[in-house]
Amino acid sequence: MSSPAQVDPWLGRWLPLAAERADRRALLELGCGEGSDDAVLASARHAIVGIDLSAESLARARARVSSGRFLLQDAGIRTSASTPIASMASPSVSSIATP
């Protein structure tokens, strides 16, 4: 079985920093798409919350990462008490641009 860093070497190099900054809180990915990065993060034992505007992509992400929480929501976060992201308990938000 391959390690997360072997599956995706680019993302794998950020896993120690993600673990340090998340401090056991969920990682939030804005624009998660079909969940390929979420799968790498989940295989490194991170809790995942993914947000995307595409219901089809989220269905694929849910199939790929059954332990993740995926929300159909605009990532232009306008938090109010009624948005799903507002109810999350202090997620760790990181932005890692893909090459």
Q: Write out the chain in H/E/C secondary structure.
A: CCCHHHHCHHHHCCHHHHHHHHCCCCEEEECCCCCHHHHHHHHCCCCEEEEECCHHHHHHHHHHCCCCEEEECCCCCCCCCCCHHHHCCCCEECCCCCC
Q: What percent of the chain has pLDDT over 70?
A: 74
- pLDDT of 28-63, one tens digit each? 898 999 999 999 999 999 999 999 999 999 999 999
The reply to whether 88 falls in a domain is: no
Q: What is the pTM of this model?
A: 0.75
| pLDDT confidence of residue 60 | 98
CATH of the domain at 31: 3.40.50.150
CA distance 57 to 31: 10
Identify the band that residue 78 occupies on the pLDDT scale cut at 50, 70 and 90.
Answer: low
Residue 64 placed within a domain: yes
- Number of domains the chain contains: 1
Residue 52 is assigned to a structural domain of this protein? yes
Find the domain containing 59 and state its range. Answer: 4-76
